[in-house]
Homo-oligomer: A and B are copies of this chain.
Amino acid sequence: MADSNALPLVLLAEQFAKLPGIGMKSAQRLAYHVMSMTDSEAQAFADAIIHAHKTVHTCKMCQNLTDKELCPICANESREHSLICVVETPKDITAFERTKEYNGVYHVLHGLISPIDGITPDKLKIKELLARIQQGGINEVIMATNPTVEGEATAMYISKLLKPLDIKVTRLAFGLPIGGSLEYADEITLFKALENRNEI
């Protein structure tokens, strides 16, 4: 590419290629697209990166990303502050909020325990969760980490830490996804669906 194209374009494509899920070919396509923007569009794009990066930080209560001191959920008086849903990333909060059914608050761990990748419990926002619970007023903690090895391990680790505090700790239910088909369900999901069967 360096042979036939301008160097600044190559450098821009390399920046795009650093983003997750974007390979060198897509990165080139995106770089060419930037060339077709107007001056003000390109400026707005660059400004949005800098502005978001500068002003967004973690909520001092739940560790969600926010540009205020408290995120809108923690600042919302009408939410149930005695119910904490523990998630891996801020994206997971978006997923729960889409259901419009959950009215508690959240706690973002910013990762899962994974010793292989060097992610030990002290690298996650677990002590912030404990501090929050020790302040009192919490009835239930829902462990809503992903149903993966790391997600399970993290849920187990935290639930053991919370046992002595005499807090109700729950875990998301696992089973068949709604609209899914038995035929395409993997064995572990099917086993979980069997194991957690309910009387009707």
Residues in chain A within 8 A of chain B (CB atoms): 1, 3-9, 11-12, 14-15, 18-22, 26, 28-35, 37, 39, 41-53, 55-56, 64-68, 71-73, 89-91, 93-94, 97
Contacts and interface: CB of A to CB of B under 8 A. Distances in A.
A65 to B, nearest CB: 6
B6 A65 contact: yes
Given A47-B46, A50-B42, A56 B1 contact: no
Contact of A46 (B32, B49, B65): B49
B94 A52 contact: no
Contacts of A19: 30, 33
B91 A12 contact: no
A152 B54 CA distance: 49
A89 B32 contact: yes
Contacts of A5: 64-66, 71, 90, 93-94
CB-based closest 3 A-B pairs: A46-B46, A42-B53, A8-B52
A48 to B, nearest CB: 4
Contact of A21 (B29, B45, B48, B97): B29
Contacts of A67: 6-9
Contacts of A66: 5-6
A30 B37 contact: no
A28 B92 CA distance: 12
A94 B28 contact: yes
A51 B4 contact: no
A56 B42 contact: no
A28 to B, nearest CB: 7
A94 B52 CA distance: 34
Contacts of A29: 20-21, 91
Contact of A55 (B6, B43, B52, B56): B6
A178 B35 CA distance: 33
A56 B33 contact: no
A35 B15 contact: no
